Amino acid sequence: MDGRDRYGPAVRAELLAMSSATIDRYLRGAKARDQISGVSTTKPSPLLRSSITICKAGDEAEESPGFFEGDTVAHCGPTLKGEFARTVNLTDMHIGWVFTRTVRNNAHPTSWAPSKPELLKSL
């Protein structure tokens, strides 16, 4: 083993030579055992639901730049326990500009960085 991976060069060569279908067959048991379903870090808030306008896919896009849609993605695997990274995504719906920032967790000081214009200017 070369210290970087948890497997040797022979295993690496075998993995690189496999087709995706073969890898799926190898992982079938693990995928069945560790199914990810219903894992969500979103907690609905009645206050937010009543104060934020929800745009549907068929709604018209804004006619000028500066209107952003935002979302976060938790990179937590099958469990929400422990510490994991989150990605904050902002998209300008008019020009398609995307701002993506990964943060260590919700407590990270830059979690709310996209809402601070001075931080966006540094890009």
pLDDT beyond 60 at 5: yes
What would the two tokens of residue 37 be? 């379903």
Identity at 72, one-letter amino acid code: T
Q: What is the pLDDT of residues 73-115, one digit of tens each?
A: 888 877 778 888 888 888 887 888 888 888 876 665 555 555 5
Measured CA to CA, the distance from residue 88 to residue 78 in angstroms comes to 20
The half-sphere exposure of 50 on its side-chain side, counting CA atoms within 13 A, is: 3
Give the pLDDT band of residue 33 (cuts 50, 70, 90).
Answer: confident
Annotated domain spans of the chain? 1-35, 46-120
Quick check: helix, strand or coil at residue 25? helix
- Whether 32 contacts 25, CB under 8 Å: no
Measured CA to CA, the distance from residue 67 to residue 95 in angstroms comes to 10
pLDDT score for 25: 93
Average pLDDT for residues 53-70, to the nearest whole number? Answer: 74
Which of 29-38, 76-85, 113-122 has the weakest average pLDDT? Answer: 113-122
pTM of the model: 0.45
Contacts of 117 (CB under 8 A, 6+ apart): none
